[in-house]
Structure 1
Amino acid sequence: MPGISAGPVTSRVLGGAAAPHPTPHLQQHLEQSPEQRRAADIIRLLMLYRPLLDAFVIDFFTDGLWAQLPPAWQPALASATPVQLAGLLGGRGGPGAAWPLSLLAFAAAARALAFPRGCPGGSPRPPCQSSHLHPLLRRHVKPKKQHEIQRLGKLLKRLSQATGCERVVDIGAGQGHLSRFLAFGLGLSVTAVESDGRLVGLAERFDQELLWELGKSKGLGNKRPSLQPLIPRAPQHVAGRLDPAAPWGEFLLPPDPPGPGPTAQNPLGGPGGSEDGGQVLVTGLHACGDLSPALLWHFARSPTVAAVALVGCCYMKLSTTPQPPGCPLGYPLSTSVAALPGHQLSYRAREAACHALEEYEGRLRGGSPHLRAHCYRAVLESLIRAADPAKRHLGLQPGRKAHALSFPQYAHLGLPLAGLDPAEVPLDSGAVGAMLEQQHKVVAFCTLGQLLAPAVETLILLDRLLYLREQGFHCALVPLFNPRFSPRNLVLVAARTPLATVLAGLDKDSEDGDSSKDEDLGEAESPREGQSPHSPGHRP
């Protein structure tokens, strides 16, 4: 894995000499684990720049956000080109303007405290069809998803071999693409759990199509020596909702709304273990909002679960209000993070953590017309608020191709969504023109928010890792997917036994994956021999 510093990065980057004799506060800091220190450092950084982190770009003009930036930053950012902003964001290439040292220190601290997301590697073009997935497993699956299920599937196979568990429970399985690969492609026994009954029906239909094709063709993989033949072993699909507050033996609730099928059964089995008396692996690919912490909560209480591999998403949907005693959900999960002053994260901060950093940097470097969309929306918000101050943050979506429109065209689509008549709003006024001329400032302000976003995601994931560590589990965070294609690419892996054999050699998995032909696999370095599997990452 790419290296993650074990020390307090903020003090090293932002300055300050170490005291000759540790103060009580410093002594306590040194006694913390590297992950606890990193979490504390991130919180201190976020507290320094909380107004920037909590600001909504659509309020750029209505709230005068530019004037709220440090005065020393404003001239440099106002004159910076998109390519120079990309260099500030990615830390590659020297500044093209006289950046203030405080701005450089801010950017360096934000980058240093965030978990390494893996080397993008390969070509910057989008992923193509995966030549190392069986053709029948590519059906109905977009290339991005093919990349994800192949990489996560290999990790789960390694977990299966290390734990001796061949049963996998896929929570939030959707249309069953990952479950299908695990079952048909890797020969694992899979139970796919999905709360939407329509998706369950679609997944079962796709399974039947695949079984029919296998029977007809006798396995296309036999014609491709590089591909393993598929195994005619479909997943079992269960329609049900995860009940985060239930005892571990009562894992599921009926789907919402209840479907016509049988009542949802707990795939983890009752107190005696799983259905076959053995243990299971649990996985969730982009488990949304509170589903991720609920999975970890059940894992921590369920002796039948040997290991978990989880990729979260939609952090803005996490619960942040205090939960009932004994039922930690949302954020924070760990007592370590909950005890840190200033650990709270606003909705806006958690939403920012879901941004696609690499994609935004690519847009900056390419001068993408998509960049004007932020300015358009901020100007539109100003017009809406001027017409009706009660209308604020309405969640308007004038169209996915808004960047290709002129602003009057954009406004004619957006104003009716706010209940306003475009004919009654001055769209060609000097004030509108003056705001549109500040697009470069809006883009620069967005770039500063993007700098902080990975640190916020790191804090959320650190909280989950520390929660598992507090329960005595072995755990790691692995940048498994190519971040160019899969922004939520960090996989949290936890087990009741050491993970060294599971994590070792993941870089070889990427080498014999699709990188040579499809160029859709990122690089991930494995920990060296003897390094602790407890660490969220390892210095190469």
Structure 2
Amino acid sequence: MTGLSSQPLSLEEQKQLAVNITHVLSLYGSIVDSYIIEFFTDNLWGKLPYSWQEVLTDLPSPRLAAVLLEKGKPEEVCYSVVWPLSLLAFKATAHTLAFSRTPRGRGGMSANGRPEEFRENRCQSSKLNPLFRKHVKPKKQHEIQQLGKVVKKLSEITRCDQVVDIGSGQGHLSRFLAFGLGLSVTAIEGDGRLVDMATKFDRELVWALEKEQAGQAKVNGISLRGPSHVAGWVDPQAPWREFLLPPQRGKDTGRLLLTGLHACGDLSVALLRHFTRCPHVVAMTSVACCYMKLTTQEDAWVAGLPGHSLSYKAREVACHAVEDYALRLRSESPALRTHCYRATLETLIRAADPAKRRLGVQTSNKAHQLAFEEYARLGLQRVGLDPAAPLDRACVDAMLAQQQNVVAFFSLALLLAPLVETLILLDRMIYLQEQGFQCRLIPLFNPSFSPRNLVLVAAKAGLDPALSTLAGED
């Protein structure tokens, strides 16, 4: 899915874009705020304009991908019937106002549905040294290799002495930055168990290096100096003096670069605030995730816009994988029936107990492979209802027959998802630029493989002349 580039926009143009997106989301809030499990109980299909229902009813999944979610050239999109102008305008607006999620100069997808670096081995990135692939899932391999290069370049541009990895988890990014790229890294993680695991993985890597070293200073360009791990929470409300780390190895604090790879919820807000408030932090890279967990909004510029309202559901939708869903539509994946199954189950649950609404029901990791009767039995049992209750077969079959309409409605909501993410990230850019800082939003990862692929890069000086090198081709 492509959209507008954030780079040439002035601050005033960005503010106008935020106004436009807010207006669009206010118009179509009933779609983005809807829970797909309530498709039948709340008659979501009936709330769409009748002209939309006419052209979308029973539309095959590959057609949905081609004419709705994917942004092809006009001559490449063939409509079997004339679409209402309101639906065409809805689609065009959603595509036009969202930031582009297509990385510049990156390779495409290989035959196994993964980035080109996984062509030879679907689990091992060819761009990452095997030492950094151990314990690391393919998606994370792709991410740390790409983000690591940006952090390295940014640290050189801004002359940073130390990188601070916020929410470092098991230390995969920190390990690559320190051992692989030779940076001085401090990794901060709130979960002590993950800190212990990261330290253990560091020791394993050092042991492997020492085994190969045989008296050399480096092995294949890899340093023996690893990251320093700190167990602690980063509070977005805390003053920067409490956040600032003590001097490392007897040195002064120096110039710091903050980074966060998929910093969850308020953690991404903490990065922004400490970047702006701490004089020692001169640069930042932030890849956010879990927008529905955001609670701190007092710094938000868009909060003052007329009609602005981002519900929990809208922010949750923004975390979905639009490109991946389009691939599922193209391939007519059996997993597409999952939403229809769950929406049908919701009617059974509420019929048995109206007080039970929107409950988390995880029947199976492959629920779509079950017959609906088995799925319903497991689901009813999970929520404390009689799994042996007889089903109204005719009613159930009528709902299951509407699977394509469920898929179509969910696709409409997903079409708005990049707009919500754009608005959130746009607000952060405005926040930074109003304080005189330079920033840029870069689509870095393959969006089909790593959906949260937009990295917000910021610096207090010296970034503009080198922006193009940060997002350059491999």
Q: TM-score, normalised by structure 1?
A: 0.81
Match of 2:81 among 93, 97, 107: 97
Report the equivalent of 2:125: 130
Q: Does 1:401 align with 2:366?
A: yes
Partner of 1:260: none
Corresponding residue number in structure 1 for 2:411? 447
Residue 460 of structure 2 corresponds to 496
Contact kept in structure 1, 2:153 and 2:470, CA below 8 Å: no
Alpha-carbon distance between aligned partners in 2 of 1:238 and 1:222, rounded to the nearest angstrom: 27
Superposed, which structure 2 residues align to 1:105-124 within 5 Å?
105-119=89-103, 121-124=107-110
Q: Do the aligned partners of 2:7 and 2:440 also contact (CA within 8 Å) in 1?
A: no
Alignment check: 8 A CA contact 1:184 1:233 kept:
yes
Q: Distance in 1 between matches of 2:410 and 2:216?
A: 47
CA contact (8 A) 2:158 2:462 kept: no
Tell me how far apart the structure 2 counterparts of residues 502 and 60 of structure 1 sit (CA, whole Å). Answer: 49
1:198 to 170, 193, 197: 193
Specify the alignment match of 1:456 in structure 2.
420
Structure 1: how far apart are the matches of 2:416 and 2:42?
20
2: distance between equivalents of 1:419 and 1:308? 48
1:503-537 Cα offsets, whole Å, 9 max, x none, are 22345442xxxxxxxxxxxxxxxxxxxxxxxxxxx
1:470 is aligned to 2:454 = no
Tell me which residue corresponds to 2:121.
Answer: none
C-alpha distance in 1, partners of 2:80/2:375?
A: 33
Cα–Cα, structure 1 residues 221 and 474, in superposed 2: closer, same or farther, change >3 Å?
farther
- Alignment partner, residue 519 of structure 1: none
Residue pair 2:160, 2:257 contacting (<8 A) in 1 also: yes
What is the identity, as a one-letter code, of the residue corresponding to 2:252?
D
| 2:46 aligns with one of 57, 67, 70 | 67
- Tell me the residue number matched to 2:261: 285
From 51, 61, 72, the equivalent of 2:30 is 51
Correspondence 1:296 to 2:272: yes
Shift in alpha-carbon separation, 1:7–1:495, aligned structure 2, 3 A: closer
The equivalent of 1:259 in structure 2 is none
Secondary structure of 1:63 counterpart? coil
CA offset digits 1:76-118 (Å, max 9, x no partner): 0004211111011112233333321211110010011110001
Gap change, CA 1:219 and 1:276, over 3 Å in 2:
farther
Deviation of 1:134 (Å): 1.4
Deviations 1:179-226 (A, max 9, x none): 000000110000000000011001001111111111111189999xxx
| Residue 220 to residue 343, structure 1, CA distance change in 2 (3 Å) | farther
Give the match for residue 16 of structure 1.
none
C-alpha distance in structure 1 between counterparts of 2:83 and 2:214, whole Å? 60
Identify the residue that residue 252 of structure 2 maps to in structure 1: 276
SS in structure 2 of the partner of residue 283 of structure 1: strand
Match of 1:322 in 2: none
Identity %: 57
Give 1:420's match in structure 2, choosing from 376, 385, 389: 385
Q: Is residue 215 of structure 1 aligned with residue 210 of structure 2?
A: yes
Other structure's SS at 2:240 match: coil
Q: Given the superposition, is the C-alpha separation of residues 60 and 174 from structure 1 closer, same or farther in structure 2, using an over 3 Å criterion? A: same
**TM-score of the superposition, structure 2-length normalised?**
0.92
Q: 2:299 aligns with which of 333, 354, 374?
A: 333
The alignment partner of 1:203 has SS state of helix
Q: Distance in 1 between matches of 2:417 and 2:298?
A: 17
The answer (yes or no) to whether the contact 2:11–2:430 under 8 Å persists in 1 is no
How do 1:129-208 and structure 2 match up within 5 A? 129-208=124-203
Taking the aligned partners of 2:471 and 2:274, their CA distance within structure 1 comes to 30
Counterpart of 2:327 in structure 1 is 362
State the aligned residue count: 456
In structure 2, distance between residues paired with 1:410 and 1:82: 23
Q: CA deviation at 1:277?
A: 3.6
Q: 129-138 vs 277-286, which deviates more?
A: 129-138
Q: CA deviation at 1:486?
A: 0.6
**Aligned-residue offset at 1:333:** 3.0
Distance across 1 between alignment mates of 2:47 and 2:234: 44
Contact 2:158 2:463 in 1 (8 A): no
SS in 2 for 1:505: helix
Contact 1:6 1:35 in 2 (8 A): no
Question: Closer, same or farther in 2 for the Cα pair 1:297/1:376, shift >3 Å?
Answer: same
| Alpha-carbon distance in 2 for matches of 1:2, 1:100 | 22
Matching residue of 1:239:
231
CA distance in 2: counterparts of 1:234 and 1:400, whole angstroms? 37
CA RMSD of aligned residues (A): 2.4
Where do 5+ consecutive residues of structure 2 fail to align?
A: 119-123
Which one of the candidate residues 263, 273, 290 is aligned to 1:314? 290
Letter in 1 for 2:325: Y
Q: Deviation at 1:313?
A: 0.2
1:429 and 1:79, CA in 2 relative to 1: closer, same or farther beyond 3 A? closer
Counterpart amino acid of 1:295? L
CA contact (8 A) 1:152 1:480 kept: yes
Distance in structure 1 (CA, Å) of the matches to 2:364 and 2:415: 26
Deviation at 1:484, TM superposition (A): 1.0
Unaligned runs of 5+ in 1: 9-30, 252-265, 320-328, 511-540
- For 1:410, give the aligned amino acid: Y
